[in-house]
Copies of this chain bind each other. A is one copy, B any other.
């Protein structure tokens, strides 16, 4: 199935995965959050080819996740890539990946602690109910069609209505 089918899937998980489900996209966004925003910095810290990096940056700019800004360095105009508001809103995705990795892929404990500047506590990701505030797991969730669902029901990943 081509990526374009996933992009049209009637599921916000599938659409987001179609956009970001590539190891480079997410680590480039991680670098942007860490203040590593210039093409040369990204290339040297990621060990990625110039062509691959250009491609992924162009996709992230087209998706409105990063904005391209010129700056002058040694009299040459270069570019840096800053997170837009839309990009900033991806922080919970990175933190949810981090929480899982800390638990399952970091046998000696977390590499980094993401602490609250206010009180020094460690950040956590919680799935909660927007009404009653209860902490939720997958077992507590009942998926129901939302306002964006087409009248004929969901269009499955394979392109047929399920």
Contact = CB atoms under 8 A, between A and B. Distances in A.
User: How many monomers of this chain does the complex have?
Assistant: 2
A47 B119 CA distance: 49
Interface string A109-143: 11111111111111111111111101011101111
B132 A116 contact: yes
Interface string A84-96: 0010111111111
A58 interface: no
Contact of A23 (B22, B33, B109, B110): B22
A70 interface: no
Given A110-B147, A148-B111, A92 B99 contact: yes
A112 B13 CA distance: 10
A101 B100 CA distance: 20
A146 interface: yes
- Enumerate the 6 nearest inter-chain pairs by beta-carbon distance, A residue then B residue, closest first: A121-B131, A12-B101, A109-B147, A21-B23, A110-B146, A47-B158
Interface of A: 1, 3, 5-6, 10-27, 30, 33-34, 44-48, 64, 86, 88-132, 134, 136-138, 140-149, 154, 156-159, 162
